[in-house]
Structure 1
Amino acid sequence: MLKSLVAGILAMVSLAVAEEKPKDTRLFELRTYHAEPGKLDALLTRFRDHTCKLFEKHGMTNVGYWVPAENKDNLLVYLLAYPDRAARDAAWKGFLGDEDWKKAAAASEVNGKLVGKVDELYLNATDFSPGFPESASPDRLFELRTYTCNPGKLPNLHKRFAEHTIELFKKHGITNGAYFKMVAGQPAADDTLVYFLVHKDAATAEKSWLDFRADPIWVAAKKASEDAAGGSLTVLPDGVKSVFLKPVDFSPLK
């Protein structure tokens, strides 16, 4: 009887270990393209017809492509993944030197350049990141959130997310995506958390956030974390930024 019990426990432990998700050690690059006025559609066409395929050719992983839900600023936001920084640099060198890319870029810019500015962030997944959920509906609404912490408070923020926030998001119908820390050497790298959430739609997102913020468990967890840290974990009043995004038709992640 005892042997059977022990065997059963060992079997469950082995199953749990086998099912534990391996840590994602890849380098991610979050890129935001500010399209020139009136050129966003042309930029999307170039990505759809040429760029994404050439990225894959040179070893880049296309993760997701989005435009803001209310795209007043002509933005394209996308996420790539690589094994490491050396692989990233080699991939971009190969891509930019590719004759097919040069031809596609030249043809698309006959009437002027498509992109005025490019923002880049280099990211690694946090230890508590669930990763992106499987694509379900092309109509899902993504939310990109960026938190700027007070100096030295990022570990406290990570702890609060790992121990409380992520589960409370689930409780209130918010789907957790990937959570990232910035690679060292970038401005504010030691004080920034970047993460994605997924909602059914805008109305659902609004209700979920209202319910989450009113949840007594969240209120208590937030207070306890701030008491322990000696104040707000994020910079006030503008330490939390949120942008709602919708996936474009060629995005692998929807």
Structure 2
Amino acid sequence: MKCIFSLIVALGMSLTIQLAAQNQPVHQLRIYELTKKNKEVFHERFKTEAIRIMNKYDFNIISVWETEFEDKVEFVYLLQWETEAALKKGWEGFMADQEWKDIKKVTSAKYGSFVEKIEDRTLWVQDYSPKKKF
């Protein structure tokens, strides 16, 4: 009986830990390798157009950076989402947004390519992280 009780407690704790993890925010790190000739136009488009449209789809941009790495210009930003489902839904909405599609089409026709490569990383906060939400 004692063994069964211990097993029930262990399973309950495991379920509690899993549910708590599901309630933790999900972070997303995006790294874009930019074309050097269009770097300034990219920044302007992101600042004035992309962020405004992203806000319609509940993007929570924590911060943005630029770096040079191995002679490449990179644009990096960190997002925070309530859940993985919210992350997926947000990106689906943004990528399907007709206004964003039109902006990309017009600016690409005028300036050429902006982004050579995109890296996308989903980050899960660890229980010992000093800060779980930003």
Taking structure 2 as the reference length, the TM-score comes to: 0.73
Task: Please give the per-residue CA displacement for 1:183-232, whole angstroms capped at 9, x wherever unaligned.
Answer: xxxxxxxxxxxxxxxxxxxxxxxxxxxxxxxxxxxxxxxxxxxxxxxxxx
| Larger Rg over CA atoms | 1
Could you say which structure has the greater relative contact order, defined with CA pairs below 8 angstroms and 6 or more residues apart?
2
Aligned to 2:36: 37
Q: Hey, what does 2:25 align to over in structure 1?
A: 26
Q: Kindly state the Cα deviation for residue 66 of structure 1 after the two structures are TM-superposed.
A: 0.3
- Alignment: residue pair count: 112
Instruction: Write the distance in 2 (CA, Å) between the matches of 1:64 and 1:123.
Output: 15
Give 3-state SS (helix, strand or coil) of 2:127's partner.
coil
Find the aligned partners of 1:74 and 1:98 in 2 and give their Cα distance. 27
| SS at structure 2 position matched to 1:74 | strand
Give the letter aligned to residue 39 of structure 2: L
Paired with 2:103 and 2:62, the residues of 1 have a C-alpha distance of: 22
In the other structure, the counterpart of 2:123 is 123
5+ residue gaps in structure 1? 1-22, 133-177, 179-252
Shift of 1:34: 0.3
Q: List structure 1 runs of 4+ shifted beyond 3 angstroms.
A: 69-72
Counterpart of 2:124, as a letter, is: N
> Which residue identity lines up with residue 115 of structure 2 in the other structure?
V
More helix by share: 2
The answer to whether the 8 A contact 1:65-1:79 is kept is yes
CA contact (8 A) 2:28 2:78 kept: yes
Deviation at 1:72, TM superposition (A): 4.2
In structure 2, the gaps of 5 or more residues are 1-20
1:66 match: secondary structure: strand
Post-superposition shift, 1:106? 1.5
Secondary structure at the aligned position of 1:126 is classed as coil
C-alpha distance in structure 1 between counterparts of 2:46 and 2:130, whole Å: 28
Partner in structure 2 of residue 194 of structure 1: none
1:117-196 map, 5 Å: 117-131=117-131
Give me the whole-angstrom Cα distance separating, in 2, the residues matched to 1:40 and 1:130: 35
CA-atom RMSD in angstroms: 2.5
Distance 1:34 1:70, change over 3 A: closer
Residue 122 of structure 1: how far off its partner (Å): 0.6
Q: 1:40 touches 1:75 (CA, 8 Å); kept in 2?
A: no
TM-score, reference length from structure 1: 0.40
Shift of residue 118 of structure 1? 0.2
- Alignment of 1:89 onto 2:88: yes
Q: Is the 8 A contact 2:34 2:115 kept in 1?
A: yes
